[in-house]
Structure 1
Amino acid sequence: MIKTLTVRGKEIGAGVPGIIVPIVEVTETKILEKAEAIRNLAIDMVEWRVDFFEHALEPEQVIHTLHRLREALPSLPLLFTFRTAEEGGEKEISPSEYTALNRLAAESGSADLIDVQIFMDDETARENIAAIHTAGALVIGSNHDFHKTPPREEILYRLRKMQDMGVDIPKLAVMPRGTDDVLELLAATARMHESYANRPIITMSMGGKGVVSRLAAEVFGSSMTFGAVGTGSAPGQIPVDRMSGALDLFHAAL
């Protein structure tokens, strides 16, 4: 049985999948302008993609901007994500710098959830998870493949490993080379949800072919999906104003 999570009044893991909107702006001014533009939309979480920020490798500046972002979005759950270049992000960062930055974000009290790349290496991942939980924040364990879709059993292995390592929400995103790859992702998601998951999971197939995985997330057991307001953070993200109706349509059918 899935144990849902509630973050700032938003329940994750039941009903209509929540919509996450990423902020991928470069300057603090633009980041706060985007926050103002989305704060009153019908969304469920905001992700700050810190690796896009011009001062992403300056911890003091990052935390300053994080506090200002929290002030601009007082009610919405805030996900702090530094996506490394190895998994499609904008900047290189060492494991020690990555761990220190995530710890500072968790300890700041301004981020509700911190993204941790589980396959950076086991030691780094476990250190991040422990530090973030000690600080009182939640962990989204993530893995991204922008080149291919692994076989079904490999997808299941990755999601189960994230869960076994103690993340609060396992998340996996893959790139399809054809429709068969999309079906592999959806089948693996359904099996994880029905047979192994005891907490919310998030999966998606990126790009145009993978759009169905974003819209039909609830059918297969994915608890959240990413929608774009302006510039998105990954291929295939659908504008929020179109996504809500589609998610509601699938939910009503179920």
Structure 2
Amino acid sequence: MTTKAVKLGRTELGVGRPKIAVPITGHTQEDIIAQAEKIYPEQPDIVEWRIDFFDDVTSKGLLKNAAVSLRTALKDIPILTTFRTKGEGGETLLSDQEYFDICRNILEFNQTDALDVELYHDTESVKSIVSEASEAGVVTIMSNHDFDKTPEQDDMVDRLVQMEKLGADVAKIAVMPHSTDDVLKLMSATNQAQNTLSTPVITMSMGDLGKVTRLSGEVFGSTVTFATVGAASAPGQIPLTNLRQELDDLKLN
């Protein structure tokens, strides 16, 4: 199936080589802007702002101040805003209601290009926030993270298909490998998904075992890979300068 391109500001997913995203994980507004000022000269394709790291994430006013300041600091670099819940490897424990309230605050601020929406919440609430994001002109990247294991290939593909059915613009899954077979399962699931879905997919196998999946997206079908400028947000992330060169070396003609 042909993958439809999805635009995040100046960056287009589903076209060409995998795009590189870099996380911001600051606990204070000052930390966030300091990280942004280090990242900006490196010009990644996307910056993922992990708001679950932000100490004042539940304060609408302080979250808005940080969002506006970050948008100013990053200029035209597209921003993906993500609240990763505790159960999927995040930093802050919130109720489902609080989670969706924060997602709605982010949409209201109009300072982001994309919003991460986790698959495993109340289905009607997920559909609602996806619809609201669409109305706001914000791309939804629906996600599922398993920091314990790698599910079976069919299970991973089914999750990605479910995300597309729920209206996601992009479908993402990240899993933890315990063997090379696990890494191969993730790569096979990625290849199957890119031939099944019309939405772009983002996949990765985490940790040192899974590093190869952060390099091989162009071959197997993952449209975004995550790198570091400073602090990492998940195990196995590779420094941006190294990753950019490695993607260049592995590009398909």
TM over 0.5: yes
2: CA distance, partners of 1:62 / 1:10: 25
Cα shift at 1:220: 0.3
For 2:215, the aligned partner's letter is L
For 2:157, the aligned partner's letter is L
Q: For structure 1, which segment, 182-191 or 97-106, has the greater mean C-alpha deviation from structure 2 after superposition? A: 97-106
For 1:229, the aligned partner's letter is V
Partner of 1:212: 212
Do the aligned partners of 1:102 and 1:132 also contact (CA within 8 Å) in 2? no
Cα shift at 1:124: 2.4
Partner of 2:247: 247
Aligned residues: 252
Show structure 1 runs of 4+ deviating over 4 A: none
| Runs of 5+ consecutive residues of structure 1 not aligned to the other structure | none
Partner of 1:120: 121
Cα shift at 1:119: 1.0
Do the aligned partners of 1:15 and 1:251 also contact (CA within 8 Å) in 2? no
Partner of 1:138: 139
Partner of 2:230: 230
1: CA distance, partners of 2:77 / 2:23: 13
Query: TM-score, normalised to structure 2's length?
Result: 0.97
CA RMSD of aligned residues (A): 1.0
Say yes or no: does 1:61 pair with 2:65. no
2: CA distance, partners of 1:207 / 1:223: 19
Cα shift at 1:199: 1.9
Cα shift at 1:200: 1.1
Query: TM-score, normalised to structure 1's length?
Result: 0.97
SS at match of 2:172: strand
Say yes or no: does 1:177 pair with 2:170. no
Partner of 1:165: 166
Do the aligned partners of 1:106 and 1:136 also contact (CA within 8 Å) in 2? no
For 2:178, the aligned partner's letter is R
Q: Deviations over 1:13-55 (max 9, x none)?
A: 1111100000011111010011111112131000100000111
For 1:176, the aligned partner's letter is P
Q: Deviations over 1:154-209 (max 9, x none)?
A: 00100000011111110100000111000000001001102x12121100000000
1: CA distance, partners of 2:88 / 2:130: 18
| Runs of 5+ consecutive residues of structure 2 not aligned to the other structure | none
SS at match of 1:251: coil
Do the aligned partners of 2:80 and 2:112 also contact (CA within 8 Å) in 1? yes
Cα shift at 1:97: 1.4
Do the aligned partners of 1:99 and 1:127 also contact (CA within 8 Å) in 2? no
1: CA distance, partners of 2:208 / 2:130: 33
Partner of 2:157: 156
Partner of 1:30: 31
2: CA distance, partners of 1:57 / 1:191: 39
Cα shift at 1:107: 2.1
Query: Sequence identity, in percent?
Result: 41
Cα shift at 1:149: 0.3
